[in-house]
Structure 1
Amino acid sequence: MLITFVMGFSSGLPLLLTISVLQIWMRQEGVDLSTIGLMALVGLPYTLKFVWAPVLDRYVLPFLGRRRGWLALIQVLLGCAIASIGLSDPISSPVTIALLAVLVTFFSASQDIVIDAYRREHLAENELGMGSSLYVYGYRTGMLLASGGGLILADSLGFPAVFMLMGLCMGIGLLTTFLAPEPDTPENLPTTLKAAVIEPFKEYFTRDSAWTILLFILLYKLGDTLASAMTSPFYVDMGFSSTEIGVTVKLFGFWATLIGAFLGGALILKLGIYRALWFFGLLQMLSTAGFAVLAEVGYHLNMLALVIGFENLTSGMGTAAYMAFMAALTDKRFTATQYALLTSLMGIPRTLISAPSGYLAEYLGWTEFFILCTLIALPGLWLLRNFAQWGTKKHTALEDSNTTLTQSTEPKA
């Protein structure tokens, strides 16, 4: 579980550097909202990572093993790419900044592929729920270090120094990769690249309800993700300084994340995957609506703390259930490829759908924008009705959910 936590930290650290921190740097330098919104496209590798995931399933580097070899190489390249952003300027070199941000997201997405596969292969079936919770715990800690700590340091050190420092922080994950054990290698692995590409998709899409599950994964966190794409410039427009945003995220967001991670793992075991997804999804809607309230209230530090704290709490809980659900669906022979396929859909709202978020915010205004984001969450919850048989018995361990989810049974309303 400690390895799972630290690997989650390494996955979460790069994400907000190319979204939140870079957005605030650009906004403070005078870049317009439309351009900032389009920067969401640099996250495209998170959506397309299933394309090169078969390579990581099929080939083994000549050091550290099937999973750790790739992970060590990727983490070195990722740390260098993050530090390189600090050597550029968002005003005089916007193209360079964008290209470096794409490199960061490419290596970050590649790291996620290997870490997700490692977690699925390293943990037992009944450990996936708590393992996903600890992964989210670490993931959110990495995000908070990058956003909260990074923004606080930016006021004194400047954004270039922050990016260089965060590049060095990837060394924590690299050290963990060297010390962690290599998971057991599953039997009947693909022996050719063609098999590594075809077999994972063939195995998944021959299941009943395969397409419905993919649509659910796409829509479940759509509203929450669309709102998150614009929260950083929103805070700036409300008049909050980098230090105020950073301190609030660090103090209230961090502790809310700890509570959310714990509650998420515990409630998944208690309620089962179906009821947990319902409950957490409704809470995510409420947290998105909180931003609309803050837009009406305006500059108010206590309200900012409440909104950020509740958003971190509900997002952590929802992501824990979401990721446990996807992990339970994968076949261990093709873990990297199948998990990459599922999490790629999870990344679509953050990239393609979030790209016009700046235009929406400018056209609608902040209050109406966040109300729209709240309502967009409804289709994902509506799709949960198609999987009502998951809640016909109270699951007490995730292996029950795993058995239910991977059976070829037609979902019923």
Structure 2
Amino acid sequence: MSPRPAAPLAQRLAALHRLAVVVLLGFASGLPLALTGQAMQAWLSVSGVDLATIGLLGAVGLPYTFKFLWAPLMDRFDLPWLGRRCGWLVLSQLVLAGMLLLMAGTSPTGATRTFALLAVLVAFASASQDIVVDAYRTDLLAPRERGLGSSLYVLGYRMAMILSGGIAFIWVDPAQGGGWTWPEVYRLMAAVMAGAAVLSALLLPRLTVELAPKTVARQDLLGFLAVLVAVALGVLVSERLGPPIAQALLGPLLEPTGMAPALQGKWMQLLALLLGIGFTLPLAAWAARAAHFETLLGGLRSYFAQPGAAAFLGLIVLYKLGDAFAAALLTPFLLGGPQFSPAEIGVVNKVIGLWLTIVGALIGGAAMLRLGLWRSLLLFGVLQTASNLGFWWLAVHGKGALPGLLLPAFDWGFVKLAQATPVDGGLLLVVALENLSGGMGTAAFVAFLMSLCHQRFSATHYALLSAFASVGRVWVGPLAGVLAESIGWPAFFVVSTLAALPGLAMLWWLRDAMAPLEVVRPPPGED
């Protein structure tokens, strides 16, 4: 009897192992995002923090947009014992667990600056984990597995968000859920991240091929330190000079408007933040060149050597911009606009909605097999744009515009509803459309980012691309809070819809440049 069929079976089992690992990695990546995003917004809202301040605290996610600065170190160096990528992954997950535990013990009103600093550290550790997860996934999956792998990654990611950004909302509802406090939720999430570190250490396949560029280690470390010093200097200069410059620029424009002084101050804080970013990022780039941070510079040169590289970065920023606007203050809108209860938000927007995102991602992954990358991005982008109008409709018509349903009480041990909960029909419809289209768009978008990476610099490339992808989500937050407070919710969601149009226009313009990305690249060594 021939033993030859054993090899395909072993290959199929190895492929299933790789895809299962992608789901686990997606879960680990998705869990912290809500904890510095919508869950944190809910904690701040119930603590009495004003809307504009909540929007400004969206800037704690800035590490997501700068992670390409330290990603080269994760390309160049490997921690001992666990192999390439895995050591960094376990370390970042353990740091995340520690920072979430400290955040749980800090009052957002009594120690706001400390709370914000801890949230920044959580975002830094989360961004570092994402660097490793994205690079590991890109290195691990064969090119033919990337479409399905993208969908499964979104599956794990959204399942984690169901936990940290959905079930958690039910837990904290005093009437319907378990009556937990937000610090208790954050302590549990810290324990979950510690468990993820254990699983990562035990279950992840090892990457045996060394792909990092052989640069001088000492020079790379000095280059990274130079970038850190430049960022610290930029922050100090921005804190000292940004506010007076913003006051000088905006003060004469805002005073005649009759706007409330507190709101004028928020606009000036926003401008000071943007001026600081505009000063700090070029300073860090200059420091990297001056210190010959070769792993970073080599990775950037490698990316920009491909045709259309700069235009693709513009598309990455713009493609999800409308979604970023709509989602930036979604939790404060649902709590303070139509005034849905936390349990209803948790059930509809965070649980049902996120499951629909998973369904959308799986549909998107399957559709990409027939449509291809560019047509998928275009179709799903149009659907995402249209879905933003649903929130405008909800802001105009409010609660009770459509008949809803009654969700029966349940107790599953880890989550419960104490009594039957009415589910608003308008909320359910809007959330369903938004999450289905968002899931499809995310699956195509992740596959697009992976197609732009080269394995030699996969951590640096993916960190650069995903950093640009997070620009909308992170930088829109401070603007969104001030804008919503200034123009009201209906006009705000109209703006969010219009913000999606430039991305669609740029995608159409780049249709020929994206044609080569439709071709599956051969494995390393065969090109």
Match of 1:342 in 2: 465
Q: What is the match of residue 323 of structure 2? A: 224
Equivalenced residue count is 399
Moved more, 53-62 or 202-211: 202-211
The reply to whether residue 113 of structure 1 matches residue 213 of structure 2 is: no
Larger displacement relative to structure 2 (214-223 or 293-302):
293-302
**1:163, CA displacement in angstroms?**
0.7
- Amino acid in the other structure paired with 1:131: G
Deviation string, structure 1 residues 197-220 (Cα, Å, up to 9, x no partner): 121111111222111111000100
Check if 1:42 corresponds to 2:60. yes
Indicate the residue corresponding to 1:258 in structure 2: 358
Deviates more, 1:71-80 or 1:188-197: 188-197
CA offsets, 1:236-281, max 9 Å, x none? Answer: 1121111111111344213312311211111112111000000110
Q: Which amino acid aligns with 2:446?
A: M
Larger Rg: 2
Q: Contact 1:272 / 1:391 at 8 angstroms: preserved in 2?
A: no
Counterpart for residue 184 of structure 1 = 208
Q: Distance in 2 between matches of 1:181 and 1:213?
A: 32
For 2:409, the equivalent position in structure 1 comes to none
Compared CA separation, residues 41 and 250, structure 1 to 2 (3 A): closer
* Aligned positions of 1:59-74 closer than 5 A: 59-74=77-92
The CA deviation string for residues 277-333 of structure 1, in whole angstroms up to 9 with x for no partner, is 001101111121111111112124111122222222111111111111111111101
Gaps of 5+ in 1: 404-413
Q: Is the 8 A contact 2:308 2:513 kept in 1?
A: no
Relative to structure 1, the CA distance from residue 402 to residue 366 in structure 2 (aligned partners, 3 Å threshold; closer, same or farther) is farther
AA of the residue aligned to 2:456: R
Range 145-154 or range 297-306, more displaced: 297-306
- Indicate how the Cα distance of structure 1 residues 8 and 342 shifts in structure 2: closer, same or farther if over 3 A, else same: same
Structure 2 unaligned blocks of 5 or more: 1-18, 174-178, 221-292, 401-423, 523-527
Q: 1:323 to 1:402 in 2, by over 3 A?
A: farther
- Amino acid across the alignment from 2:209: T
**Compared with structure 1, are the counterparts of its residues 251 and 109 closer, same or farther at alpha carbon in structure 2 (3 Å cutoff)?**
closer
Deviations 1:139-158, CA, capped at 9 Å, x for gaps: 11111211111111112111
- Partner of 1:389: helix, strand, or coil? coil
> How many angstroms does 1:196 deviate by?
1.5
Q: Are residues 1:297 and 2:359 paired?
A: no
In the aligned structure 1, how far is the partner of 2:21 from the partner of 2:198?
A: 11
**How far is 1:362 from its partner?**
1.1
Correspondent of 2:111 among 60, 75, 93:
93
Sort the Cα spacing of 1:188 and 1:150 in 2 relative to 1 into closer, same or farther, 3 A.
closer
The corresponding residue for 1:375 is 498
RMSD: 1.7
**Residue 123 (1) aligns with residue 126 (2):** no
Name the CA distance, whole Å, in 2 between partners of 1:73 and 1:119: 17
Given the alignment, which residue of 358, 366, 377 partners 2:481? 358
> In structure 2, what is the Cα distance between the partners aligned to 1:196 and 1:168?
35
How far does the alpha carbon of each residue in 1:75-99 deviate from its partner, in whole angstroms, 9 at most, with x for none? 0010111122111111111111101
Deviation digits for residues 76-127 of structure 1, max 9, x if unmatched? Answer: 0101111221111111111111011001100000000000000000000111
Determine which structure has the larger helix proportion and give its number.
1
Shift of 1:190: 3.1
Q: Structure 1 CA distance, aligned partners of 2:187 and 2:514?
A: 48
Q: Indicate the SS of the match to 1:303.
A: helix
| 2:512 aligned counterpart, secondary structure | helix
Q: 1:276 to 1:399 in 2, by over 3 A?
A: closer
Match of 2:286 in 1: none
Query: Hey, what does 2:384 align to over in structure 1?
Result: 284
8 Å Cα contact 2:167/2:351 also seen in 1: no
Letter in structure 2 aligned against 1:161: E
Distance change in 2, residues 1:294/1:92 (3 Å) = same
Partner Cα separation in structure 1 for residue 358 and residue 507 of structure 2? 27
Choose which of 295, 302, 312 in structure 1 pairs with 2:435. Answer: 312
- Mapped to 2, the partners of 1:171 and 1:265 lie a distance apart of 31
> Is residue 419 of structure 2 the alignment partner of residue 330 of structure 1?
no
CA contact (8 A) 2:170 2:342 kept: yes
Checking the alignment, whether the CA contact within 8 Å between 1:273 and 1:401 is kept in structure 2 is no
145-154 or 167-176: which moved more? 167-176
Counterpart selection for 2:308 from 196, 209, 213: 209
- TM-score normalised according to structure 2 size: 0.73
Q: Is the CA contact 2:72–2:460 (under 8 Å) kept in the aligned structure 1? A: yes
Supply the distance in 1 between the matched residues of 2:212 and 2:28 (Cα, whole angstroms): 30
Identity of paired residues, percent? 45
Q: Is the counterpart of residue 52 in structure 1 residue 171 in structure 2?
A: no
For residue 390 of structure 1, report the CA deviation from its aligned partner. 6.3
Partners of 1:59 and 1:35 in 2: how far apart?
39
Q: Within 2, Cα distance between the matches of 1:13 and 1:100?
A: 16
Alignment partner of 1:145 is 2:245: no
One-letter amino acid of the counterpart of residue 328, structure 1: S
Counterpart residue identity of residue 296, structure 1:
V
Mapped partners of 2:466, 2:115: distance in 1: 26
1:187 CA displacement:
4.5
- 1:28 and 2:46 correspond: yes
Aligned counterparts of 1:259 and 1:294: Cα–Cα separation in 2? 23
1:400 matched to 2:519? The reply is yes
Deviation at 1:176, TM superposition (A): 3.0
Q: What amino acid is the match of 2:339?
A: G
Query: Which 10-residue stretch deviates more, 246-255 or 141-150?
Result: 246-255
Cα gap change, 1:319 to 1:200, in 2 (>3 Å): same
Residue 151 of structure 2 is aligned to residue 133 of structure 1: yes
Contact 1:10–1:172, Cα closer than 8 Å, also in 2: no
Question: Residue 271 in 1 paired to residue 271 in 2?
Answer: no
TM-score by length of 1: 0.93
In structure 1, the partner of 2:172 is 154
Give yes or no for the alignment of 1:17 onto 2:41: no
